[in-house]
Amino acid sequence: MRKNVLLMVAMMMAAMTLSAKNEKLQYVATWTTAIQKVEPHNLAPEPGLSGNSLRQIVEISFGGKEVALKLSNEFNTEETEILGVELAEANTQGSSWHISTSTSTPLTFNGLRGVTMKPGEVIVSDPAAFKMKPRMNVAITIHFGKASNTDVTGHPGSRTSSYIAKGDTKDFRGAKETAHWYYINSLLVVTPQGKKGAIAAIGNSITDGRGTTTNGQNRWTDVLSKRLLKNKKTKNLSVLNLGLGGNCVLRGGLGPTANSRYQRDVLKQEGVKYAIVFEGVNDLGGSRDGEATAKELIESFKKMIGLAHEKGIKIYGATIMPFKGNNYYNESREKGRQMVNEWIRTSGEYDGVIDFDAYTRDPEQPDRLNPAFLFENDWLHPNASGYQKMGESIDLNLFTE
């Protein structure tokens, strides 16, 4: 059922390529997040979503003058009733619920204020005039009717505060704060065909941003986006963070595997020109045989590369960072990591290499992270300085061809 729904959405989005003044227009995502079924401990706190209003803040990549919002009910088995949605410029990166009220813009769905999402359904609002500047913080306020408080589609690792207010209201004084996103999937900019494009980065918690600053918007993808926007040759590219904490490529882990979500999150993402694959550490960390797992990972990456090339997407591989000192580590798993990284660097299968391992490892002990980049001494996740280094290490020339 979900595959059919997603296919219908993809067909609908393709059909929404518009023509005005003899100029073809298309949607390109300026922001997106990877979605999953929200685990019980990450559900919305009291008062919950049903019958209440939720304000969520996202920081986009490039700007635009006309925008649409994609919402997802993909992992729900119940309907989700939405009474209304507004976009506005947020006053902060997430540290408060305050907005510039003069920018508040209501969205419609087939001309109506409200919409009910069926189980498994993905919907896109009508395009609306809404002026966005590059790296603007956008507040998305959703007013819920009947909605499950236990069966929810969302993104647990938002690293950004959201705010729940009681009732169908615009008054968020006294709102409950929670660091999760629910139901929001993408912000899409209407743009002349070929003028703008997107970079889809699929990954795990190190892409999702564990170790960054809550409401700081300083994941490695954010650092990359800011650099791209300052470069004349790359200023029309967005960076789409498709990281999921605990994600695996092959099996297990948290959320749908990278193999199972690759079509939706990368290949069918609106306007993607480039892809970055930065996965594998969780597969190796739970492996009984690191070398066997490495071989499986390489085969999966080969398939991802082939599918990307079929769509005309350039695809880059990111090396797996060291993790000695973490309970993931043993000699077999380290051999597997080295195998995968050697293949990424030398096989020529990817269109280019992003060598995160080289830039974050300890020069004295290359099988562990540089101690200057440690988050909570877990020897797996970098801190904010480590993410800054990662984002700065990427060659922007990869995105100029």
Q: Where a domain ends, among 126, 155, 187?
A: 187
Q: What's residue 395's pLDDT?
A: 98
Q: Is residue 28 part of a domain?
A: no
* Backbone φ, ψ for residue 266 (5° rounding): -115, -60
Q: Where a domain ends, among 155, 187, 219?
A: 187
Q: What's residue 10's pLDDT?
A: 46
Shared-domain flag, residues 273 and 391: yes
Shared-domain flag, residues 180 and 203: no
DSSP string, 47-61: T-STTSEEEEEEE-S
Q: At what angle do helices 220-230 and 384-393 cross, to 10 degrees?
A: 40
Quickly tell me which residue has 């003899």 as its tokens.
22
Residue 243 to residue 219: CA distance in whole angstroms: 10
Quickly tell me which residue has 């902060």 as its tokens.
92
Q: What CATH number does residue 225 fall under?
A: 3.40.50.1110
Which residues make beta-bridge pairs with 26? 191
Q: Are strands 197-203 and 272-278 parallel, antiparallel or unpaired?
A: parallel
Shared-domain flag, residues 71 and 10: yes
Shared-domain flag, residues 175 and 203: no
Shared-domain flag, residues 14 and 121: yes
The whole domain housing 316 covers 196-399
Shared-domain flag, residues 211 and 314: yes
Shared-domain flag, residues 345 and 211: yes
Q: What's residue 22's pLDDT?
A: 54
Shared-domain flag, residues 118 and 154: yes
Shared-domain flag, residues 204 and 294: yes
Shared-domain flag, residues 277 and 389: yes
Q: Where a domain ends, among 164, 187, 210?
A: 187
Q: Three-class SS of residue 228?
A: helix
Residue 101 to residue 91: CA distance in whole angstroms: 10
Q: What's residue 23's pLDDT?
A: 75
Q: Is residue 33 part of a domain?
A: no
- Number of folded domains that form the chain: 2
Which amino acid is it at 178? T
Shared-domain flag, residues 146 and 254: no
Q: Are strands 314-318 and 115-117 parallel, antiparallel or unpaired?
A: unpaired
Q: Three-class SS of residue 5?
A: helix
Q: pLDDT tens digits, the chain, 401 residues: what are they? A: 444 444 444 445 544 544 445 579 999 999 999 999 999 999 999 999 999 999 999 999 999 999 999 999 999 999 999 999 999 999 999 999 999 999 999 999 999 999 999 999 999 999 999 999 999 999 999 999 999 989 999 999 999 999 999 999 999 999 999 999 999 999 999 999 999 999 999 999 999 999 999 999 999 999 999 999 999 999 999 999 999 999 999 999 999 999 999 999 999 999 999 999 999 999 999 999 999 999 999 999 999 999 999 999 999 999 999 999 999 999 999 999 999 999 999 999 999 999 999 999 999 999 999 999 999 999 999 999 999 999 999 999 999 97
Shared-domain flag, residues 321 and 386: yes
Q: What's residue 401's pLDDT?
A: 78
Q: Is residue 392 part of a domain?
A: yes
**C-alpha torsion angle, residues 143, 144, 145, 147 (rounded to 10):** 180
